[in-house]
Amino acid sequence: MQRLHKIKVMRKLLRIRKFLLLLALLLLAVAWLYSNHHAAQSVIRIGVLHSLTGTMAASEAPLVDAVRLAVEEANQSGGIDGARIEMIVSDCRSDAGYCAQQAEKLIVQDKVQALFGCWTSACRKAVKTVVEKHHHLLFYPVQYEGLEQSPDIIYTGAVPNQQIIPMVAWAMQQRGRRAYLIGSDYVFPHTANQIIKKLLVAQGGQVAAERYVPLGEHNLDAVVREIAGQHPDFVVNTLNGDSNQYFFRALKQAGIRPENTPVFSTSIAEVELAAMGPELMTGHYVAWNYFQSVDSVENSAFIERFHHRFGTERVLDDPMEAAYIGVHLWVNARRATGTTDMAAMKAALGQQTMNAPEGIVSVDADTRHLWKQVRIGRARADGQFDIVWQSGRSISPEPFPFFIPRAERDAMAKGAR
């Protein structure tokens, strides 16, 4: 009888142990699921769309590091409600159609909360279609031709009244009224030159010639020969990508000097100057909102942080600074709203102001562009720019130039699609 009792007790203890073991396994499973769920919730993904290969790579690739610096700074200051921001970088391959495909993937498959990227207007327009289809959000960091605004895009680069219009007006005051126009054969140069021609005519100017070459074109000899023959007062250059290197090399070989025929460029900054060799462009001019040579406490700190992270041999330029600004504007709006709701985010973005390296910038709630200062720089032999003129205050964005009748603006915008 005693033996039977012991057996019963042992069986009961065994059942208890099995129950406790199952309970422990269940608790471990719950803890694992919670941990994975919490880990998933603690990462916020953003998509970065820039060309790391192809004709636009030299200009675009550095913007990825500018975005990375801003993301790391945001994560070091607590992320977003404790969640870490994670970048997913896609190489656009200097191909607008491929970039649009990558935007679709980042939004649909990778579930990113915002996109940062594009350079050319062809790329922006291709990605714009995807972003608007999903009512998503894109931060575009490059100056462009205007004639556009979207509730789903924050434009952190300049529009014509913040770059090309003051640049051409200053060139006419300083150099004369005959301009030669050279650009890459795509949206931005064609539309920008239509605006420039309107400005020239309004101020009694003249177009000596207007020429376009394919993106990535290396043979600019015929264009340079025509410039030498035309003797314009100045050249307006809207070439993009590595074509600029071949253009300025051809100018130098032809003996065309900035003292006699200065070139005013819209898409060359410190990064391109370093890539082509500053000696090719020394003395020529560019217009931007930011130069690395801007003298301010905020800019000095920005340069120091970037050099500490990526090396003192690296240079900063306007599109990089605009890309950096975009991330911080998004982070500030995301922290302010405390929600992933896109409508709330877009409303909050319309109220953002930032003391940026270039100066105070503010999002214009109506146009989704930034108020920005305008600066004109002359290239130096050391790869930096002397600022020869600046607006001294932030200029309100006018993506639709007021001096062009609406019917003409609509026709220009339609032709640029």
Give me the pLDDT at residue 34, please: 44
What are the CA-CA distances from residue 301 to residues 292, 297, 356, 358 (Å)?
11, 6, 11, 12
| Amino acid, res. 325 | I
DSSP state of 148: -
Q: In the predicted model, is pLDDT for residue 9 greater than 70?
A: no
CB 292 within 8 A of CB 303: yes
Average pLDDT over residues 256-261: 97
Quick one: what percent of the chain has pLDDT higher than 70?
Answer: 89
Is the per-residue pLDDT at 416 higher than 80?
no
User: Half-sphere exposure of residue 143, counting CA atoms within 13 Å on the CB side?
Assistant: 30
Residue 407 has a pLDDT of 79
Q: What is the pLDDT of residues 365-376, one digit of tens each?
A: 999 999 999 999
Give pLDDT, residue 48.
98
Q: Pairing between strand 353-356 and 359-363?
A: antiparallel
Highest mean pLDDT among 37-51, 358-372, 403-417: 358-372
Higher pLDDT, 249 or 30: 249
pLDDT in tens, 335-345: 999 999 999 99
Measured distance between the N- and C-terminal CA atoms of the chain, rounded to whole angstroms? 96
**pLDDT at 234 > cutoff 90:** yes
Q: Is the pLDDT of residue 312 over 60?
A: yes
Predicted local distance difference test score (pLDDT) of residue 393: 94
* Tokens 């605006």 belong to residue: 195
**pLDDT for the residue 7:** 58
Predicted confidence (pLDDT) at residue 22 exceeds the cutoff of 80:
no
Q: CA-to-CA distance for 174 and 233, rounded, in angstroms?
A: 10
Whether the predicted pLDDT of 40 surpasses 60? no
pLDDT of res. 37 = 44
Maximum Cα–Cα distance across the chain: 121
Q: In this predicted structure, what is the pLDDT of residue 35?
A: 43
More confident residue, 22 or 100: 100
pLDDT value of residue 198:
93
Structure confidence by residue, pLDDT tens digits, 157-187: 999 999 999 999 999 999 999 999 999 999 9
Helix (H) or strand (E) holding 174: helix 164-175
Neighbours of 354 (CB within 10 A): 17
The fraction of the chain above a pLDDT of 90, given in percent, is 85
- Checking if the pLDDT of 11 tops 70, the result is no
Q: How confident is residue 257, by pLDDT bands cut at 50, 70 and 90?
A: very high
In the block, tokens 């980042």 appear at 106
Using 50, 70 and 90 to split pLDDT, how confident is the model at 36? very low
d(CA 288, CA 158): 8
Residues 370 and 354: their CA atoms lie apart, in Å, by 10
pLDDT value at position 406? 79
Nearest-Å Rg of the Cα atoms of the chain is 27
Q: Which of 9-18, 240-249, 362-371, 389-398 has the lowest mean pLDDT?
A: 9-18
Least confident span in 35-49, 113-127, 337-351, 364-378? 35-49
Q: What is the pLDDT of residue 39?
A: 42
Strands of 312-392 (E only): list them: 353-356, 359-363, 370-371, 375-379, 385-390
Question: What is the per-residue DSSP string for 1-42?
Answer: -HHHHHHHHHHHHHHHHHHHHHHHHHHHHHHHHHHHHHHHHT
By C-alpha distance, which of 189, 244, 59 is closest to 252?
Answer: 244
pTM, two decimal places: 0.87
Question: Which is more confident, 45 or 8?
Answer: 45
Token output for 379: 């290239």
